[in-house]
Amino acid sequence: MRNKPRHEHWGSQIGVVLAVAGSAVGLGNFLRFPGQVVNYGGGAFMIPYVVSLLLVAIPISMSEWALGRFAGRHGYHSPLGMYYVASGRKRGWGIVGGMSMCVPFVIDMYYIFVEAWCLFYALKYLGGMLEPIGLGFTLGSGDFAGMRLGSGDEYERFFNATTGANQNGALFSRAGAPLLATTIFCVAINFLLVYRGVSKGIEKFSKRVAPLILLCALIMIIRVATLGNPLGRPGQSFLDGLGFMWNPTRDVYNASGEIIGRASVWTSLLNPETWLAATAQIFYSVSICICAVCTYASYVRPKDDIALSGLSATATNEFCEVVLGGLMAIPPAIMFLGSRAADGFSSSFQLGFIVLPNVFELMPLGQLCGFVFFFLLFSASVTSSMSLVLPVVAFFREAFRCSRGASVLLGAAIHLVGAFIVIWFTKGLTALDTYDFWFANFAPFLFAIFQTGLAAFVWGTAKLREEIALGSKIKPPTFLAFVVKYLSFPYLVVIAIFWASKNLKGRVLATMQDYVAQLSIGFFLLLLAFLFTLSVVTIRRWRAEGISDGYGIQTEKEDNSRS
Amino acid sequence: MTWGGWVSMTASLAIVIGLFGWCCYKLVVTRETQDADAPEESTER
């Protein structure tokens, strides 16, 4: 039975910009970016970062906007329909689009769990329970007394106990129940916001939360910048903190901690890993090719501007990352903990959930800052995770032609099955790490190659240029399509090959040796088989019915004449 | 903080704030045109 939904659209241009920017702004901006800058040459890292922004982020994101709006105009809102219609209704491309749905599907399964950590920490700070005396109370163990203040031990133990990193199934015990309840709450609000629709749910929420994120970040930056040198120790002032992050030349230490030389700008720039890290960061940060941007763009009105909207969303994300993320996390860690805090900069989780709580403990008004910081992370995470729920819901609506409510329920049910693996197998956070590596790092690179190849070589640069220019309120550069085809695509392929050669073998071996990782991959293969079957069946039905529109509104003939 | 640090930080912030500011300006300037297109009400359920 055909259930023909009416078309949805964004209410305003500002709304869509904030929603897309909100989708991109997340933990990567505030925790991953500063850590990467410190680890890959400070200020020198910014050169490959800006090059990647210009060659990868802006052109590929623009092509994703164009593909999305083109598909939306034909009534398709999921990547399945987008790949299918942009490729000239090729079955193979449609199936690739359908399979790319595994990315938002799986990322959301662990991302909402991390989102729940942020909310949980924010509530703990708000309730005044994330103090040394409160740790024993919170965990019910009472064995935290006498631990070194600011050593990281307390918060590391708190983090491990809270997230269940010590043993599997910990969240299903009495001690883990609060975080489990928080996780269920986060899943519910994500699906509820998507159920309310693009304009009434996602757009309204993004418009309210974006200023809140900015306000929280400004409070944090002002607090940090006005502290001076709080402990009065040499090398631990606000400027020293900034220098630790941004200085392009730095001392090189040997294994025993002695200075053995000084790395120059060129040392960083001539290291391929710096370029790899910069591209991966921009990729991760702008949320390219994880099906979020194209799905959001498919709800833009046919003649609305996408050039300015796309550029504004990327610019907003970059503002949050470089300006807010760059000033907020590292300087206070250096000011209060000194350079020993640098051990925690390589991992986002360690910086956010272990190093910074130590800093808040020592900082005047630290409890308030702790609440503001984790509430900021939570708000940014919700806007990101709901952008991953929408493609899933859109996909089911197209595949089953069911109502929004039914797709939301189906998406939530499958989500809970996959999320159960992450929530149960918490020991060492192995399941979460496995999902994170394969779906937030590997799969987006892979599907970016497919998507950029589709836009540049199958759909074609002429259509790409035409689509970007349609309704544009700024003059998009005419060479943009050329850049996508001859610079972004090869750059992406080279980086992906280099990245895979560096990381893939080790990860495959690690996955083969751990049963939890194997289970996670097993679930993924099942999901992939499900997506494949559903894509094949849906395309077959579209072809059998002779319709070209996702909702069966226009005929093949009409569509061809329009093209 | 070294001179190199100041230069890299200032240049990075200038590029990003410049791009963000330009986009905000353009969004505000073109908002009237956008509003004129808006009467097509959202038809979501």
What are the boundaries of each domain within chain A? 13-562
Which of B12, B20, B31 is nearest residue A316 as measured by Cβ atoms?
A: B20
* Chain B residue nearest residue A11, CA to CA: B42
* Chain A residue nearest residue B5, CA to CA: A247
| Contact map slice: A 461-490 vs B, CB within 8 A | 473-474
Task: Enumerate the residues of chain B whose CB falls inside 8 A of the CB of residue A245.
Answer: 9
| H or E stretch at A261 | strand A259-263
Tell whether the model's pLDDT for residue A150 goes beyond 80: no
CA–CA distance from A65 to each of A202, A280, A317, A468, A479 (Å)?
18, 20, 16, 8, 17
Tell whether the model's pLDDT for residue A64 goes beyond 90: yes
**A152-164: pLDDT as tens digits:** 577 888 888 888 8
Going by pLDDT thresholds of 50, 70 and 90, the confidence category of residue A504 is confident
Q: Are A5 and B15 inside 8 Å of each other by CB? A: no
- The distance from CA A193 to its chain's CA centroid, rounded to whole angstroms, is 18
Query: What pLDDT shows up at residue A152?
Result: 52
The closest of A403, A551, A199 to B42, measured between CA atoms, is A199
Give, in degrees to the nearest 5, the angle at Cα A54 between A50 and A57.
Answer: 100
Which of A6, A200, A247 is nearest residue B5 as measured by Cβ atoms?
A: A247
Q: What is the DSSP string of A391-433?
A: HHHHHHHHHH---HHHHHHHHHHHHHHHHHHHHH--GGGHHHH
The whole-angstrom distance between B2's CA and the closest CA on chain A is 6
CA atoms of A316 and A297, how far apart (whole Å): 17
| DSSP-derived 3-state class of residue A31 | helix
Q: What mean pLDDT is predicted for residues A497-526?
A: 85
Q: Which two tokens stand for residue A176?
A: 């883990």
Q: What mean pLDDT is predicted for residues A79-95?
A: 93
The whole-angstrom distance between B8's CA and the closest CA on chain A is 5
Q: Please provide the average confidence, as pLDDT, over all residues in chain A.
A: 84
Q: Are A50 and B5 inside 8 Å of each other by CB? A: no
Q: Are B42 and A199 inside 8 Å of each other by CB? A: yes
Secondary structure of A425-449 as H, E, C letters: CCHHHHHHHHHHHHHHHHHHHHHHH
The closest of A48, A506, A36 to A271, measured between CA atoms, is A48
**A206-250: pLDDT as tens digits:** 999 888 888 888 888 888 888 888 777 888 888 888 888 888 887
pLDDT, greater one: A152 or A304: A304
Percent of chain A with pLDDT over 90: 33
Secondary structure of A471-493 as H, E, C letters: CCCCCCCCCHHHHHHHHHHHHHH
Cβ contacts from A onto B, under 8 A: 122
What does the DSSP 8-state code read for residue A320?
I
Task: Enumerate the residues of chain A whose CB falls inside 8 A of the CB of residue B20.
Answer: 315-316, 318-319
pLDDT, greater one: A175 or A86: A86
| Contact map slice: A 400-419 vs B, CB within 8 A | 404
CA atoms of A175 and A156, how far apart (whole Å): 17
Q: What mean pLDDT is predicted for residues A194-216?
A: 89
Q: Which long-range contacts (CB under 8 A, 24 or more apart) does A264-272 make?
A: A265/A41, A265/A43, A265/A44, A265/B4, A267/A41, A268/A40, A268/A41, A268/A42, A268/A44, A268/A45, A269/A41, A269/A44, A269/A47, A269/A48, A271/A40, A271/A41, A272/A498
Task: Enumerate the residues of chain B whose CB falls inside 8 A of the CB of residue A11.
Answer: 38, 42
Chain B positions with Cβ closer than 8 Å to A: 1-2, 4-9, 11-13, 15-17, 19-20, 22-24, 26-27, 30-31, 33-34, 37-38, 40, 42-45
Going by pLDDT thresholds of 50, 70 and 90, the confidence category of residue A556 is very low
Phi-psi region of A88 (alpha: psi -120 to 50; beta: other; left: phi over 0): left
What does the DSSP 8-state code read for residue A553?
-
Going by pLDDT thresholds of 50, 70 and 90, the confidence category of residue A30 is confident
Residue A253's φ and ψ, nearest 5 degrees, are -110, 150
Task: Enumerate the residues of chain B whose CB falls inside 8 A of the CB of residue A305.
Answer: 30, 34
Tell me the β-bridge partners of A250: A263
Going by pLDDT thresholds of 50, 70 and 90, the confidence category of residue A130 is low
Query: What pLDDT shows up at residue A253?
Result: 66
CA atoms of A474 and A455, how far apart (whole Å): 21
Which of B17, B23, B44 is nearest residue A323 as measured by Cβ atoms?
A: B17
Q: Are A43 and B17 inside 8 Å of each other by CB? A: no
CATH 1.20.1050.10 fits A13-562, yes or no: no
CA atoms of A132 and A146, how far apart (whole Å): 9
Q: Are A247 and B4 inside 8 Å of each other by CB? A: yes
Query: What pLDDT shows up at residue B32?
Result: 63
pTM > 0.80: yes
Query: What pLDDT shows up at residue A128?
Result: 74
CA atoms of A403 and A3, how far apart (whole Å): 7
Q: Please provide the average confidence, as pLDDT, over all residues in chain B.
A: 78
